[in-house]
Amino acid sequence: MNVLVLNAGSSTLKAKLIDTEKPEKPEPLLSMTVERIGTDGVTHESAVATVLASAASSTHRVDAVGHRVVHGGERFMGATLIDASVEAAIDACSQLAPLHNPPNLAGIRAARSALPNVPHVAVFDTAFHARLPRRAKTYAIDAAVAEKHGIRRYGFHGTSHGYVAELAAKHLGRPLADLRIVSLHLGNGASACAIELGHSTETSMGLTPLDGLVMGTRSGDIDPGALIALLRAGMSVDELDTLLGKKSGLAGLSGVGPDLRDIERRAAEGDDRCRLAINVFSHRVRKYVGAYAAAMGGLDAVILTAGIGENSASMRQRILQRFDFLGLVLDDDRNTDGKVTHERPVAEISGETSRVRALVVKTNEELAIARQTVTVLAQLAPPASAPVIPIAVSARHLHLDRDTFARLFGQDATPTRYKDISQPGQYACEEKVNLIGPRGRIDGVRLLGPLRPKTQVEVSRTDEFKLGIDAPIRDSGQVAGSAPIVLEGPKGTVSIPEGLICAKRHVHMHTEDAKRFGVKDGDEIEVAITGGPRDLVFGDVLVRVSDRYKLEMHIDTDEANAAELDSGKDGDLVYTGVDMAKAEVREKRIVS
């Protein structure tokens, strides 16, 4: 498929036409930049027309268009097919990225009207960071003010960080989800990203791309008190904006401009401002590497990418030297030789004995955008938006056979429907039963209907302690040889020799869901709970597939508490349909 990748800025339109079926030939079919948009009558419409005319004369088809969009706000967790509502949502994110989203959107509108019959996909710089944990995305200011003004960390360069991380994992021969990586995108814009479980868990750019590392013309980290001092000294907001965005960073420090090549040359000639600029830049990056290794509790690889990361061996050496204490040993010869090309995009620059691997990786944001465009069009989930599994938290409950029901509630009684529950045909009943164990009792345990061939009582580990009974972990229906329990109802008491179990956590899936997740009945998978206050990964989750099932994971109250999911009222069956639980199938393990 030929994907036209458009990156529409305020004054330039960068375009690349990429054949996504030829990974061995990553050079674009067409590459052009239209400059001076906004002057001499050049508009985004005319710039798009120039690009399309050039594509037409090259005789290459355009099958789809992938648009780079800087800010996806809270809404976009991954790349998305563009329609009117997506355009409106991108517009709504403009206040978060006033310099970037409006021109991105102008490019989208111009291209959609020029090419109305091909699909257009938006790929967001923020998407890879969409699941930053709360501790990483929250700024420590008055929570109400932060909420009102939407002040939080979003992170940028996500397309690049995600792309180089995939290449690094491939090079290391390990699943990305198993690696702890610090990715350093060092170009005109620069950011660091901590990558765990295959996605960003911390990143240096914040609400805007001004935060974090020293950049070509941007300051990165600065004491907010300094901004207040400058404002108090009479600087206007616009002047401050220009200072931090255009007159700072390498350019502001060195006085010679934003390009590191010029600064390195002048530094070699003895220019002190240029030497300081280099030192401030590398010192800041080193701080982030150390901080992110600490935040992740370990480190497997460091990636350097973009103009500076890919090309400046001396900057790489300054950044990575004396990291032996972290387990990273730079190999100076490999570093000096560390060239990367589109054909050979990864170069290893750590030594043989280095436990932490240092890799130079050539980024290719356009190729990443083209691939994500294809993925969206193939209707597969984009990498940053894992499918969400709703979670239901089951409080203790029981199923009764006809005979036991009659002995507990009377010969003529029938179960009374209290409310339907989510799995089709099942319902909670008005009837409740007391459980009596050797150590203690639990009253008011809800009956679920309809009646079943075998009595089954499902409790949590905590309940077992209270009762004084050790019950086995079992799949529903597998009660043979399980624990005994005494049941007490209004009309009688029944001691059952087996039937008490601790339910094995499981996911119900419709056949179509199973296809989408690539799993089958009986598989065991891992499900990650992310985005909440106590994220964790549940292993040994049984998959149960049937056309009668609705997608839903069932866990008990202990498991819900461990992940800080809302477990609702005690003694009832609770369905949370939890939005905070961004459950995802992280890895599947098949048990034979």
Q: Which CB atom, from 198 or from 307, has the smaller least distance to ligand ADP?
A: 307
DSSP character at residue 416 = P
| 231 SS3 class | helix
Which phi and psi (to 5°) does residue 397 adopt?
-160, 175
- Whether residue 133 is preceded by a cis peptide bond, meaning omega within 30 degrees of 0, is no
Residue 347 near ligand ADP by CB under 6 A: no
Segment near ligand ADP (CB under 6 A); pick from 36-44, 86-94, 187-195, 581-589: 187-195
Q: Which CB atom, from 312 or from 354, has the smaller least distance to ligand ADP?
A: 312
Give the strand pairing for 573-575 and 80-81: unpaired
Residue 63 near ligand ADP by CB under 6 A: no
Q: Which CB atom, from 281 or from 549, has the smaller least distance to ligand ADP?
A: 281
Number of residues that bind ligand ADP (CB under 6 A): 14
Token readout for 577 is 């349909």
Binding mask 212-241 for ligand ADP (x = CB under 6 A): ----x-------------------------
Q: Which CB atom, from 135 or from 261, has the smaller least distance to ligand ADP?
A: 261
Contacts of 226 (CB under 8 A, 6+ apart): none
Q: How far is the CB of 46 from ligand ADP (least distance, A)?
A: 24
Segment near ligand ADP (CB under 6 A); pick from 184-192, 219-227, 396-404, 495-503: 184-192
**Strand order through the sheet with 199-203:** 199-203, 190-196, 181-186, 301-305, 357-361, 346-348
Which phi and psi (to 5°) does residue 12 adopt?
-135, 155
Residue 158 near ligand ADP by CB under 6 A: no
Q: Report the C-alpha gap between 87 and 83 in whole angstroms.
A: 6
The question of whether 125 is a catalytic residue gets the answer yes
Token readout for 101 is 């989203």
Binding mask 272-311 for ligand ADP (x = CB under 6 A): ----------------------------------xxx--x
Segment near ligand ADP (CB under 6 A); pick from 74-82, 183-191, 196-204, 399-407: 183-191
| 588 SS3 class | strand
Q: Report the C-alpha gap between 583 and 592 in whole angstroms.
A: 24
**Active-site residue, from 125, 300, 513, 523:** 125
Residue 26 near ligand ADP by CB under 6 A: no
Out of 20, 203, 217, 312, the only residue in the binding site for ligand ADP (CB under 6 A) is: 312
Enclosing H/E stretch for 59: none
Q: Which CB atom, from 189 or from 345, has the smaller least distance to ligand ADP?
A: 189
Q: How far is the CB of 369 from ligand ADP (least distance, A)?
A: 13
Out of 259, 564, 572, 587, the only residue in the binding site for ligand ADP (CB under 6 A) is: 259
Out of 103, 158, 189, 449, the only residue in the binding site for ligand ADP (CB under 6 A) is: 189
Q: How far is the CB of 448 from ligand ADP (least distance, A)?
A: 58
Which phi and psi (to 5°) does residue 407 adopt?
-70, -25
Q: Which CB atom, from 68 or from 131, has the smaller least distance to ligand ADP?
A: 68
Q: Report the C-alpha gap between 282 and 100 in whole angstroms.
A: 27
Token readout for 278 is 């280099």
Q: In this chain, which residue has its C-beta nearest to ligand ADP?
A: 307
Contacts of 424 (CB under 8 A, 6+ apart): 548, 549, 550
Q: How far is the CB of 320 from ligand ADP (least distance, A)?
A: 16
Q: How far is the CB of 268 from ligand ADP (least distance, A)?
A: 12
Beta bridge partners of 542: 506, 524
Give the strand pairing for 473-474 and 456-458: unpaired
Residue 17 near ligand ADP by CB under 6 A: no
**Distance between first and last Cα of the chain:** 38
Q: How far is the CB of 205 from ligand ADP (least distance, A)?
A: 12
DSSP character at residue 208 = S
DSSP character at residue 350 = B
Q: Which CB atom, from 188 or from 422, has the smaller least distance to ligand ADP?
A: 188
CA angle 466, 469, 473 (to 5 degrees): 105
Q: How far is the CB of 311 from ligand ADP (least distance, A)?
A: 3
Out of 155, 187, 212, 532, the only residue in the binding site for ligand ADP (CB under 6 A) is: 187
Q: Report the C-alpha gap between 317 and 310 in whole angstroms.
A: 12
Identify the sign of the CA torsion 109, 114, 117, 123: negative
Q: How far is the CB of 263 from ligand ADP (least distance, A)?
A: 8
Segment near ligand ADP (CB under 6 A); pick from 22-30, 36-44, 186-194, 342-350: 186-194
The alpha carbon of residue 490 and the mean position of all alpha carbons in its chain are separated, in whole angstroms, by 51
Q: How far is the CB of 38 from ligand ADP (least distance, A)?
A: 19
| 296 SS3 class | helix
Residue 126 near ligand ADP by CB under 6 A: no
- Annotated catalytic residues are 125
Chain residues binding ligand ADP by CB under 6 A are 187-189, 216, 258-261, 264, 306-308, 311-312
